[in-house]
């Protein structure tokens, strides 16, 4: 085998190996390299909601996800953010509303630092704008709302919709 072909094949094998190693490694949001994820301190009785068919012409739709501090300690909600600019979320706790919070890079994401006492409940009010992506946004969509605490993995709240004109 010619030396140039052998070097080329070796380079490709190394590149593919590096890709798979890096693709399977990630540091969870809110955690530092070397940390081990802790248990979720916030739980949601419902982590998925299906809006069904949603008309762009009829405007925004909303759904509330309930969250609960299931730990024996206070839990600080540090950040809430969404997977897409078409989705906003608010924290509704103790008769107050905090937010809206949206997709990183599109504003509306900031530190919250609100504490939930053990056993307490709050709502994450989710608003989806089916017209945000214009006519190209017709069809099935899935979005995620992330709720980060000072410890543990972020709580993920998901919804699906089938956007129609």
Q: Which domains does the chain have, with CATH numbers?
A: 42-164 (2.60.40.10)
Contact predicate 148/117, CB 8 Å: no
pLDDT of 77: 94
Residues of the chain with pLDDT under 70: 1, 3, 5-40, 107-109, 152
Compute the half-sphere exposure of residue 142: CA atoms within 13 Å on the CB side of its CA. Answer: 5
**CB-based contacts of 62: which residues, under 8 Å, 6+ apart?**
125, 126, 127, 128
pLDDT of 24: 42
pLDDT of 125: 98
Dihedral sign for Cα 120, 72, 77, 114, please: positive
pLDDT of 13: 52
d(CA 159, CA 62): 11
pLDDT of 70: 87
pLDDT of 11: 53
pLDDT of 130: 98
């Amino acid at each position: 085998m010619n030396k140039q072909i052998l070097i080329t094949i070796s380079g490709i094998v190394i590149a593919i190996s590096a890709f798979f190693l890096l693709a399977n490694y990630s540091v969870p949001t809110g955690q530092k390299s070397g940390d081990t994820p802790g248990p979720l301190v916030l739980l949601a009785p419902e982590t998925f909601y299906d809006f069904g068919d949603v008309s762009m012409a009829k405007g925004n739709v909303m759904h509330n996800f309930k969250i609960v501090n299931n730990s024996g300690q206070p839990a600080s909600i540090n950040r809430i953010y969404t997977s897409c600019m078409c989705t906003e979320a608010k924290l509704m706790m103790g008769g107050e509303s905090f937010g809206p919070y949206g997709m990183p890079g599109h504003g509306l994401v900031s530190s919250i630092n609100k504490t939930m006492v053990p056993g307490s409940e709050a709502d994450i009010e989710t608003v989806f704008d089916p017209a945000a992506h214009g006519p190209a946004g017709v069809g099935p969509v899935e979005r995620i709302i992330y709720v980060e605490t000072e410890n543990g993995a972020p709580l993920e709240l998901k919804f699906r919709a089938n956007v129609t004109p």
